[in-house]
Amino acid sequence: MGRFHNYSWGNVLLIGSQRPTATRVAGYHKWKDLGRYVKTGEKGIMIFAPMLTKQRENASSPTPDKTTPNMKDGVFRLTGFRTAFVFDVDQTEGKPLPEFAKTTGDPNDYLEKLKALVAKQGISLEYDKSIAPADGVSSG
């Protein structure tokens, strides 16, 4: 999941309205980098992509809320948005994506060690069957 972009709330709404079954979305080139290819005839899901321009060195001081510092050797300024297209994993074919790591077995032998480890981080560990079939949930 770390290889996929975190989309803004507005883009999440656009993706959901155009393809409610979307699970993992990425641009054409990102799918190519992952060894997958967009199927012939598939239509992209439209989102809004930010347009960033490099701030000139002699330009006046940029406003802090409109800049992204140190983005590959410079300061970039948000100048607007353009439409871009992304594709869901179901619209692609090719190399399988890596699966999430899963553990099996009885955790009782390590339960106390796990509780102590997460307690040091200020996290409470609780078991609740009401979230089944999910493997876990985090909040706070």
Cα–Cα distance for residue pair 24/91, rounded to 1 Å: 10
The answer as to whether 79 is a domain residue is yes
76-88 pLDDT, tens digit each: 899 999 999 999 9
- Compute CA distances 24 → 21, 40, 48, 52, whole Å: 10, 19, 17, 25
110-137 pLDDT, tens digit each: 878 888 888 898 887 777 788 777 777 7
The answer as to whether 62 is a domain residue is yes
The answer as to whether 138 is a domain residue is no
Cα–Cα distance for residue pair 115/126, rounded to 1 Å: 9
Q: Is 28 helix (H, G, I), strand (E, B) or coil?
A: helix
What average pLDDT score do residues 22-30 get? 92
pLDDT of residue 15: 95
pLDDT of residue 67: 52
Range of the domain at 72: 9-131
The answer as to whether 4 is a domain residue is no
The answer as to whether 60 is a domain residue is yes
The counts of H helices and E strands in the chain are: 3, 6
| Res. 140 pLDDT band, cuts 50 70 90 | low
Residue 40 has pLDDT above 70, yes or no: yes
The answer as to whether 13 is a domain residue is yes
Domains held by the chain: number: 1
The answer as to whether 2 is a domain residue is no
Cα–Cα distance for residue pair 31/37, rounded to 1 Å: 6
pLDDT of residue 108: 74
The answer as to whether 3 is a domain residue is no
Pick left, alpha or beta for residue 72 (phi over 0 → left; psi -120 to 50 → alpha; otherwise beta).
left
